[in-house]
Amino acid sequence: MKRSSITFRAFDNETKRLDKFLSSTLNLPRNQVEKLIQNQQIRLNNAPLDKKGILIKNGDIISIKEQITPQKTFEKDFSIPILYEDEDVLVINKPINLLTHRINEYDKEPTLVDYLVAKNFALSNLGDSYRLGIVHRLDKGTSGAMIIAKNNIAHQNLSLQIKSKTMGRYYLCVIDKPLKEHKIIEFPLIRSPKNRLKYITATLNNPLAKSAKSAFFKIITNHKTELIGAKLFSGRTHQIRAHLAGINRHILGDNFYGYKENYQKRILLHSHIIHFIHPKTQKFIKVYAPLYEDMKDYLEESYYQQPLNEDFQIPLDEMYCHIFGK
């Protein structure tokens, strides 16, 4: 693994924090600078740094050791089911335990983007190199339908459909306590002050919160747990999980958002339907993502008491329209 380093002298007459100085001088996000410090890749006057709040002054010498990470490889080959494909759009059935994309070069885990690149799919490149083709994302523990843009025109068009709410995204999930009724939740979301990786519901007038809207509707229950449908109107990080936690409901397997019972095989959350207007032909396209075996097995055992077909589908979009009259 190759390493190189850059060295420069602070030239600002004002004393300032090192992380702020590097962020502005090198045009790097602050969190990326923080990771450089955490990884002990920065030295100040030839002494290693381990905290970000250090103050620097004019004449200080700063060295940054850069690590060039090797090309990502998969330990074993696997295939991701393709649900729809043409020259502009790809829809895949994402498996669980696969990150959508890396955040930066220090993330070690192979991702969906790595897979798509390795398989030589054409991908849009409007974002950074870690997000090639990615119009929206699914959490690592979430499976199901996910749309990929193959070129920049398709990417722009699909992004606008998400923003204008003309793209439909419907999920299946199993929760630990039945809903009292079908419900639309419009509480904004904000990072938890106790855990910056988690999101919680906030008051409507909180200036730091981001607007979010989800619909939840009952499908079948065994009086202990319940299979429900969810429709996303916005696409905030962890939106379904955080909105459910806000009404004291938790997806089975989702320990991070408060699930405390015995089921631990996976998070039972699956993107079941995605529909959109094709960016070139303007045709309406609806794609179902079949359930993976682990979730199908749970539904068979807990609710249906009979084998489900491989192409088992629940018309969540039609159910939503019937229930909410929209």
Residues with a known catalytic role: 139
Q: What single letter denotes the amino acid at residue 66?
A: E
> CA-CA distances (angstroms) from residue 148 to 85, 109, 197, 217, 224?
9, 20, 25, 27, 37
Do the beta carbons of residue 260 and residue 237 sit within 8 Å? Answer: no
Residue 67 has, within 13 A of its CA and on its CB side, a CA count of 16
Give the residue among 139, 74, 131, 141 at the shortest CA–CA distance from 101. Answer: 131
Phi, psi angle pair for 72, to nearest 5°: -65, 135
Q: Which residues contact 224 (CB under 8 A, 6 or more apart)?
A: none
Burial class (CB in 10 A: 0-12, 13-18, 19+), 174: buried
Radius of gyration for the chain, computed over Cα atoms and rounded to the nearest angstrom: 23
Give the residue among 91, 137, 124, 112 at the shortest CA–CA distance from 236. Answer: 137
Q: What does the block give as tokens for 118?
A: 């390795």
Q: Which residues contact 34 (CB under 8 A, 6 or more apart)?
A: 19, 52
Give the three-state DSSP class for 57. Answer: coil
Burial class (CB in 10 A: 0-12, 13-18, 19+), 306: exposed
